[in-house]
Amino acid sequence: MADVAPKDAIDWMQRLGVNLKAPFLESMQLWVACAFIKTLSVLVMVLALFPSGVPALPAMALQIPRQSIEHLAARAEQLENDGKLEDAESAYREILKIDPRSIAALNRLGAIAVRRGQFTAGIRYYKQALVLSPSEFATNLNLGIAFIKRQDYASAVPPLEQAARVAPESFQAHELLAGALVGQNDFSRAVPHLEKASALNPNDLGTLYLLERSYLETKQFQKALPTFEHLQSLDPSSAWVDILRGQAEDALGNYQNAIKEFEVARQQLPRDATIRFSLGFMYWKVRRLAEAQSELGEALKLDPQFEEAKYYLADTYILQEKPSEALPLLEALIHRQPRDARALADQGKALEKLNRDLEAARAYEACLRVDPGRADVHYRLGRIYRTLKRSDDSVREFATAQRLQKEKREEQESLMRAIGAHGDPTRQMAEPSPPPKYESH
């Protein structure tokens, strides 16, 4: 199994639906680029041999001329190796005419169909083989690969689970099953299979990278941190190790350590937009605003469509009392998505700082039509209404803000009582502005 460049790994992760520019939300996770360092084409090539666990062809029982089948199989394999897929397909079909129960021939026809992008046909051949032998390892594995290549990850899981049950020590079965689960964002179920695959092949980079990312997604930070040294020893020149470690340090509330990791990653990949955004976000979080502005600006230069960078750069401008510079970014976000409550709220803040109260009120009102549960926006709108001499509206908004804040506080206290917690350091994320002190007048 061969390693490939990180770019290939990122492409594969994106095909699995992994968002490499996901926002840092309340869970404080930025799921930046991390690598599976494998391509399924390599696995398919490895698995393109005749399945090792296939029962012998029942030539004696069925009075089948074994020499004829062996000759056809050798010829078909040679044609396939030469890239003459149509001729190889014809040879495998000849085998099926002699022995319709040939699992090996059905598997090879399935592999050829998948190789040619004919996934429906390939899946049909594999399913025919499984009717003959439902627990056969290679067929289940091949069927799972076909579904993954078609990006049907939910359908890939059952045959790959069967393959892992039949061969519990198979690295490939656990690795592919984990990949199918990650494709559905089911990181919790992927973790044990990645742990098993890593135990079977401790030096496989792709598995380790995906395992670290899954630990972070499932907030198993204490498991993630100890394995970074091993990962770095295997891939010392990779910035992805620093990125993953930065995420873990961030999640644990060790912001200065996270910044150091992202700064190292920036030195290695200065033109990576995601790394520049990651570092800019950390600067924003600790209110090193000038540095945040620089890094977030660089991220947007490298990738002008990087929407998270627009959000945080706009908020950085607002925090620096530069609302006029924030407005074009926010207007672009709202133009693309008119019901973007987050951008509408920030647009209201910027307009309020510019004393454009009527426009600010309209922005806050639009935000609340989309997300009426925003206590902070109700408070800000109440303040604007008070400035505009709309007393009744102002009182209503302040009262709503207080009610929502009380409900949120009671919900959090109830949750902490249920789990016996006294706070969670992974949720100590800085807010764009301090919580308002709600007024009743």
pTM of the model: 0.62
Q: Collapsing DSSP states into helix, strand and coil, what is residue 58?
A: coil
The average pLDDT across 358-385 equals 97
pLDDT confidence of residue 8: 40
Name all domains of the chain by residue range, CATH numbers in brackets.
Answer: 356-441 (1.25.40.10)
- CB atoms under 10 Å from CB of 388, counted, come to 14
pLDDT tens-digit series, residues 231-262: 878 887 788 888 888 888 888 889 999 999 99
pLDDT tens-digit series, residues 282-341: 999 999 999 999 999 999 999 999 999 999 999 999 999 999 999 999 999 999 999 999
Query: 113 or 437, which is more confident?
Result: 113
81 pLDDT band, cuts 50/70/90, is: confident
Query: 47 or 302, which is more confident?
Result: 302
CA distance 199 to 182: 19
Provide the residue type at 321 as one letter. E
172 pLDDT band, cuts 50/70/90, is: very high
pLDDT confidence of residue 295: 97
Residue 17 pLDDT exceeds 50: no
Averaged pLDDT of the chain: 80
pLDDT tens-digit series, residues 102-132: 888 898 888 888 888 889 999 999 999 999 9
Instruction: Report residue 291 as tokens.
Output: 């540095």
157 pLDDT band, cuts 50/70/90, is: very high
Instruction: Report residue 140 as tokens.
Output: 């289940």
Percent of the chain at pLDDT above 70? 79
